[in-house]
Amino acid sequence: MASSKPFSTIVHPYPTKGSPNRNACAYETGLPSARNAFVFVGGLGDGPHTVPYARAIARELEKHGELSYSVFEFKTRSSFSGWKFSCLANDVADISELVRYLRGLGREKIVLMGHSSGCQGLMEYAATSSDPVDDFILQAPVSDREASLVGKGSEGKRKLDEIVNIARDMISSGKGDHPMSHDHLSEDYDRPMSARRFYALHAKDGEDNYFGSDLPSEVARGFWGKFDKPLLILHSGIDRYIDPSVDKNAQIEGWKALCRPGIASRLSGVIPGAGHSVRQPAGEEWLVNTVVKFLKSTAAFPSSSL
């Protein structure tokens, strides 16, 4: 498992062209002379260096100099507590700015890896960004709506739908960016949170609902069909945010079938014995090795920057 000891990183301040994401910095670990960039995008509440396996990937990539990757982590407007008042469009804009900066450094290939709700950001990126990258990796792609209902039964669903309706009414009345009342949010929702963000995460038609099991197939196909570069999909075997009754392998196979032919990697699968953020040593090793195998499988593909 990734060490909690001090570690070195290269800090890259980079311009954001008037974006609200001012004073942006990216943090590079691994091979300083790498030709390619591996960009890690965390989930809700994450920021640079909060998910240890990103550093484990960097250490492993140092052993594979032929791939020539270093790992970048960075702070977006959604990082740490910012997610409660941000949105996917901001995530895409912030990722795009970093991608442009890395292209300016001469990085040939750029890989984006999303963890948890970072996966929603990458789904949105594939659909809307005009800054091409070379590979995508989704780890722990979960539905926030369904995650909030794990173990809560029909009564939990009824209560959630009530709060979603309150958020919808606030948005309709022009108060979408206002914080929801503490009376309407339990501690599960890491309050405060804007009505717009709550709705995006928890409504069936919310903009963050890319992974809901109740999405119509034609809607889901529209999402997954946006990927035009190699894609690796990895569930965690014992993810507490997925109902235990869900067949994770079957879900991944279903998503792969919605992608364009040849896009979804055969290496996609379930990380054995891994929790949501893969803090178990055996799970981390499996994840790191699979990521390296994936990068090797796409190494001969031409860079999207060419």
All structural domains of the chain: 10-143+212-297 (3.40.50.1820), 153-202 (no CATH)
Q: What pLDDT, on the 0 to 100 scale, is given for residue 5?
A: 81
Of 192 and 122, the one with more pLDDT: 122
Residue 18: pLDDT band with limits 50, 70, 90: low
Given a cut of 60, whether residue 2 has pLDDT beyond it is no
**CB of 22 within 8 A of CB of 77?**
no
Phi, psi of 114, rounded to the nearest 5 degrees: -105, 140
Q: What pLDDT, on the 0 to 100 scale, is given for residue 182?
A: 81
Using the 8-state DSSP alphabet, how is residue 205 labeled?
T
Given a cut of 70, whether residue 1 has pLDDT beyond it is no
* Structure confidence by residue, pLDDT tens digits, 132-169: 999 999 999 999 999 999 999 999 999 999 999 999 99
Within 10 angstroms of residue 267's Cβ, the number of other Cβ atoms is 17
Given a cut of 90, whether residue 263 has pLDDT beyond it is yes
Positive or negative, the CA dihedral 85, 89, 92, 98 is negative
Of 191 and 266, the one with more pLDDT: 266
Compute the mean pLDDT over every residue in the chain, rounded to the nearest whole number: 94
Tokens 């965690």 belong to which residue?
236
Given a cut of 70, whether residue 72 has pLDDT beyond it is yes
Residue 15: pLDDT band with limits 50, 70, 90: confident
- Tell me how far apart the alpha carbons of residues 230 and 254 are, in angstroms, rounded to a whole number: 17
186: closest CA among 209, 200, 202, 210?
A: 202
Residue 214: pLDDT band with limits 50, 70, 90: confident
Residue 191: pLDDT band with limits 50, 70, 90: low
Of 19 and 69, the one with more pLDDT: 69
Residue 21: pLDDT band with limits 50, 70, 90: confident
What percent of the chain clears pLDDT 90, i.e. is strictly above it? 88
Q: What pLDDT, on the 0 to 100 scale, is given for residue 211?
A: 98
